[in-house]
Chain A
Amino acid sequence: MDHRDGQSVEHQKKDPQQHPHPCFTNFTTHHQQQKWEDPSLLDYSTRIEPPFQAFNPNCQTKSSFPCNPNNQIKVPDPIMNELLQASKVQDWDPSAMLNNLSFLEQKIHQLQGLVHSIIGRGGQVLGQPDELVAQQQQLITAALTSIIVQLISTAGSLLPSVKHHTLCGAPPAASLAQFQPQNGGGNSVPELPNTVDVSSNSGEQQNHVMEEHEMKDEEDAEELGESLFPGTYEILQLEKEEILAPHTHFCTICGKGFKRDANLRMHMRGHGDEYKTPAALAKPNKESSSEPALIKRYSCPFAGCKRNKDHKKFQPLKTILCVKNHYKRSHCDKSYICSRCHTKKFSVIADLKTHEKHCGKDKWLCSCGTTFSRKDKLFGHIALFQGHTPAIPLDETKGPIAPSDPGDGSEATNVVGSMNFFNFGSENGVDVKGSLDDPAAYFSPLNFETCNFGGFHEFPRPASDDSETSLAFLLSGTCSYNNNHNDVERS
Chain B
Amino acid sequence: MKTQSKRRPQPLSPDSSPNPFDILTEEIVCKILDHLHNDPFATKAFSLTCKAFYFIESRHRRILKPLRPELLPRIFHRYPFVSHLDLSMCPRVDDNTLNVISSTWKATLQSINLSRSRFFTNAGLSSLFVNCSGLVEVDLCNATQLTDLAASAIAEAKNLERLSLARCKSITDMGIGCIAVGCRKLRSLCLKWCLRVGDLGVELIALKCKQISSLDLSYLPITEKSLNSVLQLQHLEDLVLEGCHGIDDDGLSTLDQSCKSLKMLNLSNCQNVTHTGLSSLINGTEQLQQIILAYGSSVTSDLVKCLNAYSKVQSVKLDGCTVTWSGIKAMASLNAPVKELSLSKCLGLTDDGLSFLVQSHKDLRKLDITCCRKITYTSIDIITNSCTSLTSLRMESCSLVPKEAFVLIGARCSFLEELDATDNEIDDEGLKSISRCSKLSILKLGICSNISDEGLAKVGSSCLMLKEVDLYSTPLASTLIMTEILLVQTTKCSYCQAEGSEGLKDIRSVAISDAGIAAIGDGCPALEMINIAYNDKITDNSLISLSKCRLLKALEIRGCLGVSSIGLSAIAVGCKQLTVLDIKKCFNINDNGMLPLAQFSQNLKQVIYLLKLMFL
Query: For the complex, is B108 an interface residue (Cβ under 8 Å from A)?
Result: no
A397 and B152 contact, CB distance less than 8 A: no
- Cβ–Cβ < 8 Å partners of A376 in chain B: 200
B181 and A399 contact, CB distance less than 8 A: no
Which among A173-181, A249-257, A384-392 touches the partner chain? A384-392
Query: For the complex, is B515 an interface residue (Cβ under 8 Å from A)?
Result: no
| Chain B residue, CB-CB nearest to A397 | B147
- Cβ–Cβ < 8 Å partners of B178 in chain A: 389-390, 392
Query: For the complex, is A104 an interface residue (Cβ under 8 Å from B)?
Result: no
How close is A285's CB to chain B, nearest CB, in angstroms?
43
Query: For the complex, is B170 an interface residue (Cβ under 8 Å from A)?
Result: yes
| Chain A residue, CB-CB nearest to B149 | A392
B196 and A399 contact, CB distance less than 8 A: yes
Known: A389-B178, A390-B177, A399-B170. A379 touches B200 (CB 8 A): yes
A387 and B181 contact, CB distance less than 8 A: yes
B177 and A399 contact, CB distance less than 8 A: no
- Cβ–Cβ < 8 Å partners of B171 in chain A: 399
**How many residues on chain B are close to A (CB under 8 Å)?**
24
B174 and A383 contact, CB distance less than 8 A: no
User: Of residues 382 to 412 in A, which have CB atoms within 8 Å of B's CB atoms?
Assistant: 382-383, 387-390, 392, 394, 396-400, 402
Q: In the complex, A375→B175 CA distance in Å? A: 12
B200 and A389 contact, CB distance less than 8 A: no
User: Of residues 150 to 209 in B, which have CB atoms within 8 Å of A's CB atoms?
Assistant: 151-152, 155, 170-175, 177-178, 181-182, 196, 198, 200-201, 203-204, 207-208
**A interface majority secondary structure:** loop
Query: For the complex, is B139 an interface residue (Cβ under 8 Å from A)?
Result: no
- Cβ–Cβ < 8 Å partners of A389 in chain B: 152, 155, 177-178, 181-182
Q: In the complex, A133→B227 CA distance in Å? A: 84
B200 and A392 contact, CB distance less than 8 A: no
Known: A379-B200, A397-B147, A399-B147. A390 touches B207 (CB 8 A): no
Query: For the complex, is B319 an interface residue (Cβ under 8 Å from A)?
Result: no
Known: A398-B147, A398-B170, A399-B174. A383 touches B196 (CB 8 A): no
- Cβ–Cβ < 8 Å partners of B536 in chain A: none
B155 and A383 contact, CB distance less than 8 A: no
- The size bracket of the interface on A is 10 to 19
| Chain A residue, CB-CB nearest to B201 | A379
B177 and A382 contact, CB distance less than 8 A: yes
| Chain B residue, CB-CB nearest to A384 | B207
Query: For the complex, is B428 an interface residue (Cβ under 8 Å from A)?
Result: no
In the complex, number of A-B residue pairs with CB atoms less than 8 Å apart? 62
Q: In the complex, A364→B177 CA distance in Å? A: 12
Q: In the complex, A397→B170 CA distance in Å? A: 10
Known: A389-B177, A390-B178. A399 touches B172 (CB 8 A): yes
Query: For the complex, is B427 an interface residue (Cβ under 8 Å from A)?
Result: no
Query: For the complex, is B148 an interface residue (Cβ under 8 Å from A)?
Result: yes
Q: Identify A400's interface contact among B152, B155, B172, B198, CB under 8 A.
A: B172
B173 and A392 contact, CB distance less than 8 A: no
Q: Identify A379's interface contact among B147, B152, B204, CB under 8 A.
A: B204
Known: A388-B181, A398-B170, A399-B148. A382 touches B204 (CB 8 A): yes
User: Of residues 213 to 263 in B, which have CB atoms within 8 Å of A's CB atoms?
Assistant: none
B174 and A400 contact, CB distance less than 8 A: yes
Known: A389-B181, A392-B152. A399 touches B203 (CB 8 A): no
Q: In the complex, A397→B201 CA distance in Å? A: 20
| Chain A residue, CB-CB nearest to B151 | A392
User: Of residues 414 to 446 in B, which have CB atoms within 8 Å of A's CB atoms?
Assistant: none
Q: In the complex, A397→B123 CA distance in Å? A: 12
Task: Give the one of A375, A388, A389, A392 with max B CB within 10 A.
Answer: A392
Q: Identify A392's interface contact among B175, B196, B201, CB under 8 A.
A: B175
Q: In the complex, A396→B152 CA distance in Å? A: 13
| Chain A residue, CB-CB nearest to B177 | A390
Q: In the complex, A33→B512 CA distance in Å? A: 101
Q: What are 26 contact pairs spanning A and B, CB under 8 A?
A: A376-B200, A379-B173, A379-B200, A379-B201, A382-B204, A383-B204, A383-B207, A383-B208, A389-B181, A390-B152, A390-B175, A390-B177, A390-B181, A392-B151, A392-B152, A392-B174, A392-B175, A394-B149, A399-B148, A399-B170, A399-B171, A399-B174, A399-B175, A400-B172, A400-B174, A402-B172
Which positions in A face B, CB cutoff 8 Å? 364, 375-376, 379, 382-383, 387-390, 392, 394, 396-400, 402
With A379-B173, A379-B177, A398-B147 already in contact, 6 other A-B pairs whose C-beta atoms are closer than 8 Å: A375-B174, A383-B208, A389-B152, A390-B177, A392-B152, A399-B196
